[in-house]
RNA sequence: GCAGGGGUGGCAGAGUGGUCAAAUGCACUGGACUGUAAAUCCAGCGCCUUCGGGCUACACAGGUUCAAAUCCUGUCCCCUGCA
């Protein structure tokens, strides 16, 4: 297979998480409406794939036969695989799918055809190895942010137990990180209970992982980021291991998490917002960078979405073009706007990396101003 | 010309005496989405309002009735069949 060209001469760095990195979600092996070549062109350094959804789409044997997702996607940059732990929350705990959670993991029953899919701490690792992921995540018991202490304790206990089993399986079957060349990360749970976060983190450190991820639903009922729980994870895990704030988030939330000490981020918001007509622009910082392109005001606005942006959408088309194409539900609008929002996020992360020493002191607009006055 | 059917909110289309400012869909106007079951979901959508309600409305004009989008009469328009 031919390797994609790397227009920005990007080479995969040896240390994952040494720099700030944003990973868009390629749940089923593609970022929605975006090709692999486009991801590279925009400067995206890695993607997140999903264990449960790829199990459903391809199954473990076909995934192996296809040579794993790097090869299948023709993607040679970072590939992280989420364990299916989030689907324990988003599908089972939410009641959208039938299923059950036991000491042994989770069973998901698809409402499409009734097929049952089981994820155990061990099978999740096996599937992620078949994915050919660079960074694996152990299965965790993810829950909503507003659960009771009792539920949070249960979530933490399952998460710790499953993490221990996953690590053991990863070592005995695949020889661990050294032999496999892959990184194994775990997820710290505990909802909004800071002491539970601390306990969960400490137990996971005893088991030992290459990275520590902040898990759970990251915002409370008011949409506020879970700052104190996030801090507890950083304070109770080794400094030299990468920290991944799973599902974070809005641009401001990424900055907040970065200040706390997280380096790795992902969120579905970037591309979902694009499809829904919420696009980002450094021209609109007073509205947190967000612009609702479907609003009537943009029907004849011939300016680009972002005058400072070098993406295909901004270089070639106006706000009015996307306003009207979205009204007509034209697919190319979903594609180009997703590309634009991804480019915005990549630029944001580039700014964080350029100002790594100052991130803790700066607020959002400071960093942007610094970048624009350069 | 005769016979039959029909004219409802921006559009399509329910409703056929009171619970109808009028279902539903589309369009329109906002909003929400944070390890993707999401090209999804929520709200508003005659005018006014002190949010209790008030007013004007179902082609037009009359009428019956305590009460009419719904029944009657006339007018105008549209469709189908026969001449």
So what's the ipTM on this one? 0.90
How far apart CA A128 and CA A137 sit, in angstroms, is 8
Question: Strand B nucleotides below 7 A of a protein CB?
Answer: 27-41
pLDDT tier at A137 (50, 70, 90 boundaries)? very high
Yes or no: say if A335 and A34 are a contact pair by the CB < 8 Å rule.
yes
| C-beta within 7 A of nucleic chain B, residues 240-279 of A | 246-250, 253, 266-269, 271-273, 275-278
- The answer to whether the C-beta of A291 is closer than 7 A to strand B is no
- The pLDDT, as a whole number, for residue A69 is 97
Q: In whole numbers, what is the pLDDT of chain A averaged over residues?
A: 93
A69 CB neighbour count, 10 Å cutoff: 23
Q: Report whether pLDDT(A10) > 80.
A: no
- Using CB atoms within 10 Å of the CB of residue A239, give its burial: 0 to 12 exposed, 13 to 18 middle, 19+ buried: exposed
More confident residue, A87 or A146: A87
In chain A, where does the domain assigned CATH 3.20.20.105 lie?
21-267
| C-beta within 7 A of nucleic chain B, residues 187-216 of A | 187, 189, 213, 215-216
Answer whether 0.90 is exceeded by the pTM. yes
How far apart CA A186 and CA A13 sit, in angstroms, is 21
CA A331 to C1' B58, whole Å: 40
Q: Report whether pLDDT(A209) > 60.
A: yes
Q: How many residues does chain A have?
A: 374
- The pLDDT, as a whole number, for residue A370 is 79
Residue A25 to residues A260, A268, A362, Cα–Cα distance (Å)? 23, 6, 28
pLDDT tier at A115 (50, 70, 90 boundaries)? very high
CATH T-level topology, domain A21-267: TIM Barrel (3.20.20)
Of A297, A315, A331, A263, the closest CA to residue A23 belongs to: A263
Q: Which stretches of A300-374 are DSSP H helices? A: 312-316, 319-327, 331-354, 364-372
Q: Please give the backbone phi and psi of residue A362, each rounded to the nearest 5 degrees, phi first.
A: -90, 150
pLDDT tier at A4 (50, 70, 90 boundaries)? very low
């Amino acid at each position: 297979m031919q390797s994609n060209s790397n227009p920005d001469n990007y080479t995969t760095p040896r240390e994952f998480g040494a720099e700030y990195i944003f990973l868009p979600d390629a749940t089923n092996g593609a970022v929605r409406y975006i090709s692999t070549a486009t991801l590279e062109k925009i400067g995206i350094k890695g993607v997140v794939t999903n264990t449960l959804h790829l199990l459903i789409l391809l199954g473990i044997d076909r995934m192996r036969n296809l040579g794993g997702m790097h090869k299948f996607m023709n993607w040679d940059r970072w590939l992280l695989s989420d364990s299916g732990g989030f689907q324990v929350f988003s599908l089972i705990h939410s009641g959208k799918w039938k299923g059950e959670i036991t000491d042994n993991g989770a069973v998901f029953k698809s409402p499409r055809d009734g097929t049952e899919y089981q994820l155990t701490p061990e099978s999740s690792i096996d599937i992620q190895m078949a994915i050919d992921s660079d960074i694996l995540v152990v299965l965790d018991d993810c829950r909503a942010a507003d659960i009771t202490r009792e539920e949070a304790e249960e979530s933490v206990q399952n998460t710790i137990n499953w993490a221990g089993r996953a690590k053991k399986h990863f070592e005995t079957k695949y020889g661990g990180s050294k032999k496999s060349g892959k990184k194994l990360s775990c997820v710290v749970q505990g909802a909004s209970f800071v002491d539970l976060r601390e306990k969960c983190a400490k137990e996971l450190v005893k088991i030992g992982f290459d990275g520590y991820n902040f898990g759970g639903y990251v915002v409370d009922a008011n949409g506020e980021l879970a700052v104190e729980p996030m801090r507890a994870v950083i304070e109770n895990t080794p400094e030299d291991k990468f920290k991944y704030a799973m599902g974070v988030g809005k641009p401001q939330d990424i900055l907040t998490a970065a200040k706390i000490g997280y380096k790795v981020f992902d969120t579905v918001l970037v591309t979902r917002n694009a499809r829904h007509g919420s696009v980002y622009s450094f021209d609109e910082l007073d509205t947190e960078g967000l612009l609702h392109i479907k609003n009537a005001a943009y029907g004849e606005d011939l300016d680009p979405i972002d005058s400072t942006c070098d993406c295909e959408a901004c270089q070639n088309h106006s706000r009015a073009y996307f306003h009207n194409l979205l009204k007509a539900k034209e697919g190319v609008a979903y594609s180009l706007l997703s590309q634009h929002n991804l480019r915005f996020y990549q630029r944001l992360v580039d700014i964080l990396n350029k100002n790594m020493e100052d991130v803790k002191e700066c607020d959002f607009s400071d960093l942007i101003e610094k970048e624009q006055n350069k």
